A and B are shown apart, each in its own frame.
Chain A
Amino acid sequence: MHEVAIMQNALDIALQQTRLAGGSQIHALKLRIGELSGVVPEALEFAFDVVVQGTIAADAHLEIDYIPVVCHCSNCDLDFQPANLVYECYQCDQISIDVVRGQELEIASLEVS
């Protein structure tokens, strides 16, 4: 349940960025969360409701962009979305260790006023 700590970090960054932009209210927060980030989006949503209380983000809407894993197969020089948690290339069956997407744990954008 480290989602609360992660959400607190995200809120801290959002508050700082809002101040830098001269804003006083956060209306929306958009996150990009990779399938392989070790974070559960539902738990993040729950944590968001808790950490924003009493802040300028109390009424903000949270949007989570969930990024599926994409691997690169060096054999076929091909990016592919694995069918399950074994990252097997669908063309040559080689297991990929090159994850090109799906590890994201980042803030994408904010809407402030």
Chain B
Amino acid sequence: MCQTCGCGDRESSVNGDLKQINVVQEILHKNTQLAQQNRAYFKSKGVLVLNILSSPGSGKTALIERMLQCSQFRIGAIVGDLETDNDAKRLRSHGVPAVQITTGNICHLEADMIARASKKLNLDALDLLIIENVGNLVCPAAYDLGEDVRIVLLSVTEGEDKPLKYPTLFKTAQVAIVNKIDLAQAVEFNREQAIANIERIAPHATIFAVSAKTGQGMEDWYTYLEQKYRGIGNASFQVKRSSL
């Protein structure tokens, strides 16, 4: 039987009036299918898509703001929050196309929300689409949105043991960014310990230590993004831009 949607032989068995149906279907298969459609669509547009996850207040919006000011990428953003469009407004004030999704009581973004929101953006004019997920280190981990790179962001004020407390999310991320590194000394943050914790929980993840506020460490992050951008089939972001 098909492991994805349960089609094919159903192997029903009858026991009195009761019938057993062996379903074997992924509960989130609808989301997974939509995420795959999103991924194919974004790839056809040559856009690299990032999904940024963190606790509230780790500096997701500040990180995007820094990227707008200093990186060479043309960036669009989709921002998820329970209420208000403050973050999208903040990004729009930099002249960036930003769509706000207000989820109400939903603690995560889903692939269909991204499909609808991305229709409001001109992807042909973008290199990078950044999805700022709802601030939450648990629920968003279960939902593929169709991103190319999943990033977990933690700030130095949250403590070195965050990866140990929220292992599931760290294990699903390809990149971990330690933010607010300019405050490390003030809050007695042990950088080596934090990085060692990430490496033990998520040995596959690429780790960056940055300050979105001062720009410290951002160059390495941009270099990584350029490599990823070429990896989805673009020659380089400058080439795409000059061909427009």
* Residues of A that sit less than 8 Å from B by CB: 1-2, 5-6, 9-10, 13-14, 17-18, 21, 23, 27, 31, 36-39, 85-86, 95, 97, 99, 105-113
Q: Find out whether the CB atom of B142 lies under 8 angstroms from the CB atom of A110.
A: no
B117 is an interface residue with CB less than 8 A from chain A: no
CA distance A36 to B172 in the complex (A): 10
Q: Is the CB of A36 within 8 A of B168?
A: yes
B204: CB under 8 A from chain A?
yes
Chain B residues with Cβ below 8 Å from A9 are 27-28, 30-31
Interface size on B, as a range, is 20 to 34
Determine the residue in chain B with the shortest Cβ distance to A10: B27
A19 to B145, CA, bound (A): 30
Contact bitstring B155-193, A, C-beta under 8 A = 1, else 0 = 000000000100111010000000000000000000000
Contact in complex: B17, A110 (CB < 8 Å): no
Contact B108 A27 (CB under 8 A): no
Task: Map CB proximity to A onto B1-29 as digits: 1 under 8 Å, 0 otherwise.
Answer: 00000100010100001111111111110
Q: Which B142-157 residues have C-beta < 8 A from chain A?
A: 142
Query: Closest residue of chain A to B19, judged by CB?
Result: A112
Q: Which residue of the partner chain B has the closest CB to A109?
A: B22
User: Is B201 an interface residue when CB atoms closer than 8 A count as contact?
Assistant: yes
Query: Is the C-beta of B232 less than 8 angstroms from some C-beta in chain A?
Result: no
Query: Which residues of A are found within 8 Å of B168, using beta-carbon distances?
Result: 36-38
Partner of B171, one of A36, A108, A111, A113: A36
Contact status B201-A17, CB under 8 Å? no
| B138: A residues at CB distance < 8 A | 2, 38
The distance from the CB of A103 to the nearest CB of chain B, in whole angstroms, is 9
Q: Are A110 and B21 in contact (CB under 8 A)?
A: yes
A-B contact count (CB 8 A): 89
Residue numbers in B under 8 Å from A13 (CB-CB): 23, 25, 27
Task: Determine the distance from Cα of A22 to Cα of B153 in the docked complex, in whole angstroms.
Answer: 48
Distance, CA A109 to CA B107, complexed state (A): 28
Q: Which residues of B contact A109 (CB under 8 A)?
A: 20-24
A108 CB contact (under 8 Å) in B23, B31, B169? B23
Using A21-B10, A27-B18, A113-B18 as known contacts, say yes or no to A5 and B106 having CB atoms under 8 A apart.
yes
B95 within 8 A of A: no
Task: Identify 8 residue pairs between A and B in the complex whose beta-carbon atoms are under 8 Å apart, listed by A's number.
Answer: A5-B108, A6-B27, A10-B27, A21-B10, A23-B19, A38-B168, A110-B20, A111-B19
Partner of A17, one of B17, B21, B31, B171: B21
CB within 8 Å of A: which of B178-229? 200-201, 203-204
Q: Per-residue 0/1 for B24-40: is the Cβ within 8 Å of any A Cβ (1 yes, 0 no)?
A: 11111011000000000
Q: Determine the distance from Cα of A38 to Cα of B169 in the docked complex, in whole angstroms.
A: 8
> With an 8 A cutoff between CB atoms, is B96 at the interface?
no
CA distance A23 to B18 in the complex (A): 9
Taken together as a complex, chains A and B put the C-alpha atoms of A10 and B171 apart, in Å, by 24
**Contact assessment for B107 and A17 in the assembled complex, using a CB-CB cutoff below 8 Å:** no
- Residue among A27, A31, A107 with the most chain B CB within 10 A? A107
Give the chain A neighbours of B24 by CB distance below 8 A. Answer: 106-109
